[in-house]
Structure 1
Amino acid sequence: MPTSYAAPPSVKPADDATTDVQENKGHHAVTDTGPRSLAELEARFARDLDLLMVPPPAWVPPQDGALDVAIVGAGMAGLTAAFALRKLGITNIRLFDRAPAGREGPWGTYARMETLRSPKTLAGPALGFANLTFRAWFEAQFGRDAWETLHRIPRLQWLDYLHWYRRVTNPPVENGVALTGLAGGADGVTLNLNGPDGERRVAARRVILANGRDGLGGPFVPPFWKAVDKRFWSHAHEDIDFAALAGKTVAVLGAGAGAVDNAGTALEAGAAKVYMLIRRAEVPRVNKALGAGHPGIVLGFNDLTDAQRWEQNQYIADTAVPAPHNSMLRCSRHPNFALLTGCSINGATVEDGRLVLDTTRGRAVVDHVVLATGFTVDWEQRPELAALAENALLWRDRYVAPGKEGSEFAQYPYLGNRFEFQERNPGQAPWLGRVHAFNYAAVMSHGRVTGDIPGISAGAERLAEGIASRLFAEDYDRHWQRLQSFETPELLGDEWTEADGFA
């Protein structure tokens, strides 16, 4: 699979852009067409940092052998969290990612959409820096006319942008390093890591789990499918050899964007027939999450009552998030694509080397099934987090909506205002408050600010500010001593002459 995006020939480079464009988008006139190369853009960004004094002087007293913050994951969430911390002068940090460099996150692996679902105009992980936005990066290379004609951001181009983001923000990242365990004490957390040099332990005062959509679990596989021969099915999260499905009949289970993306990939790989089977009576059409895309909910979700937070998440889950318009067209333009609603699977048997599906819409014979059934919070799929699972306060311990006792949401962690885990039994594992869930599992407590492009900057700033305040409070005695010992004079004594008395 390619891991970079090349602009189509129709996209003109920035050198061909007009130098004095006047436009009015309802906000203000724009006469600056911006940098014409990445080098110019990076110079502007460097000046932004200089003007704003980012990062400020380091202020956290060092602790021998311990990081101030260890970040597990160097995808979009990890990179944004790292830069948010550096903006506040917290620089003794390190990121660890199990993927090779350039392969962090889903963009070059199991994400199979042609374009992102988010509008291209969102600032994303820019943290308030205009010259760090995707738009600035794009226009510096291809010009404003190309930006105006761009409908949505191609997935692999977003990956290229994140590579650039990592380069210009320059966080300390170790790739090929996996977390294998967490433990803690009164003063910090110990990470057990496995990398190119084998097993090792790293001490940190704080840990951020920026480990993605499956950060506290993994792919959701309905129990029924676990009994079916694995040769005949894959989860959409897995590596799938789509080339091997050429000339085959494929069924994709699901109604969301992931189902459409995998169906489209199978069709483009030459599948003879692709069925998209949806249990719902109708295809979801309205993305309710977009109806709540405003600063109020981004900034205030974690201040809602438990009932309100559950209500919001449950409503969006029940109504379902539809596939984007262009993604559905990607499938329906193929005559060998078929979509069936109201189609549940009652059973599956292997006959003559093929899989026979018994569905509520009749019998179907297929060669392979792709489960686009999403992810789940499932602590058993994350043995490295066993100590968290044993001690963490969950939503089921605080609130469950009436009639929703079996909901997956009950397994989500009930986080504090700084995304920190909380103890189920206070006093048994106080170090849990030093671990912060900046992954999808935070959605119940904080809303969509840990992995979705619209709210990622707000979430990272909330996280960084919370960690900064705790580090200061923990080190108060040392800061107090530093204040008392500060002796740099503002006045030297030769700026005035004292009078002898009143004239």
Structure 2
Amino acid sequence: MSRRGNPDLAASESLRLLGADPAGWVPPTAGVDHDVAIVGAGQSGLTIGYALRRAGITRVAVLDAAESESHVGGWAAKARMRTLRTAKTLVGPELGNPALSFRAWYEAREGTAAWTALDRIPTADWISYLTWFQRQVRVPVRRGVRVLRIEPDGQDRIRLHLRRAGTDTVETARKVVLANGVEGTGGPRIPVTTAKLSPAVFAHTGRQIDFAALRGRTVAVVGAAASAFDAAATALEAHAAEVHLFSRRGDLVVARPGGNPPSPAVQDVFHRLPDAERWRRRFAFAGSTPLDSVQRATAHPNFHIHLAAPWQEATEAGSKVRVRAADGTHRFDFVIAGTGYQHDPRTRPELAAVAGRIALWRDRYQPPAELRSEHLSSFPYVGPGYELTARRPEDAGWLSAIHVFNAGASQSFGLPIGDVPSLRSGVPRLVDAIVRDLVLADLPRTKPSPAAPASREEYAHAVWKPETVAA
């Protein structure tokens, strides 16, 4: 029997049983608009907003640059994989409430048999689920708001310069959470060889690409990780004439079903490991590609893989790109870089003004020569509560008010922060840090409630009196 039901009713009942949200306990602060401002309304931002409210922090603003809720976290615009790359059984935004889980939502719609038969979660279903999740937990989102600049206000608080519909405003928050996904504290990682190519012939997988325009054209994809293969397959399905994928490695790193998943126990304590051990593990990490992503692309006879073929030069001539690679010279109509992201705060527009004051890994740890990496050394050095740390002690107060719950924290925490695997333990850890900081900061201005005035009216008749013994 395949049971179905109404996921809205089940979620509503589960929230009723949890009880009303706690009353806000953070005292108002003069000149402050928000106790917490969350930048990004994807799966992380929505989960954090919900968790903060359940922790009694009510003055929270969730800001998102996307105008439509159908672009939750950029999934609809940039996710080109057919399914999520993580196991369907991972805990997600529900944070322990099974009625809010993807499984509950999916089984109510499709039945238990469909869930059992499901391998991994279809991307389209995940987008629909996140939209449903937001409705259930009632996290308000201010959409179409872009953060232009982040700066201190001189009192260990953060000023946010915002733009909405052409109008600029400034708002102040005691805490800011950057929950802005894979771009995090940086942006697309563009290979030096393609840096001078124009948008007419080049795009990174982190940007929207008009794949329909690639019909009948010859396309090159630089990179051999999951996003590169997904872009190659999408171009092939859009009827590109040929797609050539170039890998620096002499072989692909393919993640096969049934492989050894990362230990959740190690992930949960990764941020507590010594810096040398964290660096060593991240340096040795090799991005892999799911087997189904490889098979999706290789099913097309006009798909070609170039192994051990790093690019040495790419020049634009008219509407073509001439490429000199380790395996020869080639010409293409369009180039796609599936080369991941870098997380140097100096390249992030809203952080550029304060980036020089943020401690990076290069400021805190110098690896041995054989383990050096300019890419890893440019990540921000993030504290145990996902807070930014300062290069100079005088900046520590206000920089620790900015929490990085995005891919920029991955070097410090050992897994892609903001992805589904990071929500289970990461969001409670983040909320605990925010609660701790607000409580400690407010101790000097919060006094214990005075005891009620003494009165015996309610109980005087019950007070025991020993018998009076006559003298």
TM-score interval w.r.t. the shorter chain? over 0.9
Q: Deviations over 1:171-203 (max 9, x none)?
A: 221110011111222242111111126111111
Question: d(CA) in 1 for partners of 2:454 and 2:337?
Answer: 66
Q: Deviations over 1:349-385 (max 9, x none)?
A: 4457432322222232221111111111133432221
Question: d(CA) in 2 for partners of 1:490 and 1:477?
Answer: 34
Alignment pair present for 1:86 and 2:66: no
Question: d(CA) in 2 for partners of 1:246 and 1:436?
Answer: 43
SS in 1 for 2:368: coil
* Pairwise CA distance, 1:229: 4.2
Q: Deviations over 1:89-142 (max 9, x none)?
A: 111101111111321323111111111100111111211111111101101111
* Pairwise CA distance, 1:58: 1.8
Letter in 2 for 1:413: P
SS in 1 for 2:207: coil
Counterpart mapping for 1:240-389 below 5 A: 240-286=209-255, 291=260, 293-316=262-285, 320-350=286-316, 353-389=319-355
SS in 1 for 2:82: coil
Letter in 2 for 1:276: L
Greater shift in the superposed pair: 35-44 or 305-314: 35-44
**Closer/same/farther in 2, CA of residues 488 and 139 from structure 1, 3 Å limit:** farther
Q: Residue 87 of structure 2 corresponds to which residue in structure 1?
A: 119
User: Does structure 2 conserve the Cα–Cα contact (< 8 Å) formed by 1:188 and 1:204?
Assistant: yes
* Pairwise CA distance, 1:332: 1.2
Question: d(CA) in 2 for partners of 1:489 and 1:407?
Answer: 71
**Closer/same/farther in 2, CA of residues 303 and 208 from structure 1, 3 Å limit:** same
Alignment pair present for 1:43 and 2:9: no
SS in 2 for 1:199: strand
Question: d(CA) in 1 for partners of 2:415 and 2:31?
Answer: 35
* Pairwise CA distance, 1:275: 1.1
* Pairwise CA distance, 1:324: 1.2
* Pairwise CA distance, 1:386: 2.2
Q: Residue 429 of structure 2 corresponds to which residue in structure 1?
A: 462
* Pairwise CA distance, 1:446: 2.4
* Pairwise CA distance, 1:272: 1.1
Q: Residue 402 of structure 1 corresponds to which residue in structure 2?
A: 368
Question: d(CA) in 2 for partners of 1:279 and 1:341?
Answer: 7
Q: How big is the alpha-carbon RMSD for the aligned residues of Structure 1 and Structure 2?
A: 2.4
Q: Residue 9 of structure 1 corresponds to which residue in structure 2?
A: none
Question: d(CA) in 1 for partners of 2:318 and 2:358?
Answer: 49
Aligned residues: 464
TM-score (norm 2): 0.92
* Pairwise CA distance, 1:82: 1.1
Q: Residue 441 of structure 1 corresponds to which residue in structure 2?
A: 408
**Consecutive unaligned residues in structure 2, runs of 5 or more:** none
Question: d(CA) in 2 for partners of 1:287 and 1:495?
Answer: 77
**Consecutive unaligned residues in structure 1, runs of 5 or more:** 1-16, 19-32
Alignment pair present for 1:149 and 2:112: no
* Pairwise CA distance, 1:237: 1.3
Alignment pair present for 1:206 and 2:175: yes
Paired-residue identity, %: 37
* Pairwise CA distance, 1:285: 2.3
TM-score (norm 1): 0.87
User: Does structure 2 conserve the Cα–Cα contact (< 8 Å) formed by 1:65 and 1:203?
Assistant: yes
Q: Residue 474 of structure 1 corresponds to which residue in structure 2?
A: 441
Letter in 1 for 2:304: A
Letter in 1 for 2:428: E
Alignment pair present for 1:164 and 2:136: no
